[in-house]
Chain A
Amino acid sequence: NAGVTQTPKFQVLKTGQSMTLQCAQDMNHEYMSWYRQDPGMGLRLIHYSVGAGITDQGEVPNGYNVSRSTTEDFPLRLLSAAPSQTSVYFCASSYRTGDNEQFFGPGTRLTVL
């Protein structure tokens, strides 16, 4: 098992550019989520999905879109990047909704200039 994979590991964008952060898991997990980690603020939930075709907003969803067309993939789209979106982004998955032993990917470090 590869577990939870994220690409790319590092990315630099200019303000206004769009991009997609990729996340995939090969554990057949129902629940997937995206977090951002900023210094002194821990992890904040951006969006989550409880299964294919079902997504919902977390604490800080503005400026981000998600979709879940398959169980395995949960991409995060930045529509028009802003410097405030400079952060480290983590994708996580768990076997079922409410199962909080989440498995985390290695993260994507994003800088928006």
Chain B
Amino acid sequence: SQELEQSPQSLIVQEGKNLTINCTSSKTLYGLYWYKQKYGEGLIFLMMLQKGGEEKSHEKITAKLDEKKQQSSLHITASQPSHAGIYLCGADNTGGFKTIFGAGTRLFVKA
């Protein structure tokens, strides 16, 4: 079965610094999703990537899907305290009926 591995598990950065979170799949990705979870709350959809080499941006967050479609990275530029939370990647498992998720990356931003 497909698995998603995220790295790092947790990250502490100084406000204003850039950071990258990675998501690696054991199989080819046909749809890769990034969600953000504020501590103690539900998940919020950030963006979806489907094509090899695709890159999307939303405010200061950029996500890329590699050409082989087995790895995605999430890059935050000039981090702010509002970026703190848990970032999870998700992927289609069976025709879109079942989404699997990585374990998440906990991001802490020091002011």
A interface residues, Cβ below 8 angstroms from B: 4, 33, 35, 40-45, 48, 50, 56, 58-59, 90, 92, 97-107
Contact = CB atoms under 8 A, between A and B. Distances in A.
Contacts of B48: 100-101
B42 A90 contact: yes
Given A41-B103, A42-B103, A100 B96 contact: yes
Interface of B: 4, 9, 31, 33, 35, 40-45, 48, 88, 90, 92, 95-104
Contacts, number: 61
B98 A99 contact: no
Nearest to A35: B101
A45 B42 contact: no
Contact of B104 (A42, A45, A102, A106): A42
Nearest to B95: A98
A110 to B, nearest CB: 14
23 contacts: A4-B42, A33-B99, A40-B103, A42-B4, A42-B101, A42-B102, A42-B103, A43-B101, A44-B101, A45-B99, A97-B96, A98-B95, A98-B96, A100-B48, A100-B90, A100-B92, A100-B96, A100-B99, A101-B45, A103-B45, A104-B43, A104-B44, A107-B40
